Amino acid sequence: MAAVALACLNIACRRDMQDQPKYIPLRPSDFFADGRSARPLPEGTVARGQLRADKVFFTGKVGDQFVDRIPFPVTRAVLERGQERFNIYCSPCHGRLGNGLGIIVRRGLKRPPSYHIDRLRQIPVGYFYDVITNGFGAMQDYSAQVAPRDRWAIAAYIRVLQYSQQASINDVPPEHRQDLGGAGTAKPAEAKKPSE
């Protein structure tokens, strides 16, 4: 019995896999004429998942113009994802309402612009995607931290924030006004202008 156990143990200790001939990355090799073990990539090679053929999706532009539409259907799940990502990456500077009063302003750093100023309410949504991707002014780019689809989700959520601060009762369809808890019976309210 002990001989069988010793034989099994001896078989398990073979080092064929560890000692096999192989090239370790960036080590020299005399097999190839250029002396390198790592082979250069063929010209035009694109890493899997990095082709980025959909220019609108990956740039937020058509030519030099920002697009005014999100390049996929905006669902509740997309907006919830956008809100989650916004709260993680954007709200420290821009605030949870997008008014530019994030925690960094309370710590004495420069206030970013509010999303509720006329210029940013009227700018195409592709602009927000581009700024998240490439940065702008004092804002760094977030392309390494935020995936492209999440950048679009954040841009969609920014539009929701902007609309939420400018909406009036007239923007609610009449059949849904009773869902607002009595607000639908009041006179139409003027859109409230936030301080800029």
| Per-residue pLDDT tens digits for 143-184 | 999 999 999 999 999 999 999 988 888 888 899 888 887 554
Q: Which amino acid is at 113?
A: P
Residue 39, domain member (yes or no)? no
Q: What are the tokens at 195?
A: 């301080």
146-174 exposure pattern, b = at least 16 Cβ within 10 A, e = fewer: bebebbbbbbbbbbebbeebeeebeebee
- 180 in a structural domain: no
**Residues 3-59: tens digit of each pLDDT:** 777 666 666 566 666 777 777 888 888 888 989 888 888 998 988 878 888 999 999
**CA–CA dist 163, 157 (Å, integer):** 10
Residue 21 domain flag: no
Q: Is residue 29 part of a domain?
A: no
* End-to-end Cα separation, the chain, in angstroms: 85
Q: What is the pTM of this model?
A: 0.70
Domain count, the chain: 1
Residue 173 lies in a domain: no
Determine, yes or no, domain membership for 36: no
Indicate whether 148 belongs to any domain.
yes
For the segment 167-177, what is each residue's pLDDT rounded down to a tens digit?
888 888 899 88
CA distance 55 to 48: 17
**Residue 40 forms part of a structural domain:** no
Burial class (CB in 10 A: 0-12, 13-18, 19+), 37: middle
Give the domain extent around 161: 55-167
CATH assignment of the domain containing 139: 1.10.760.10
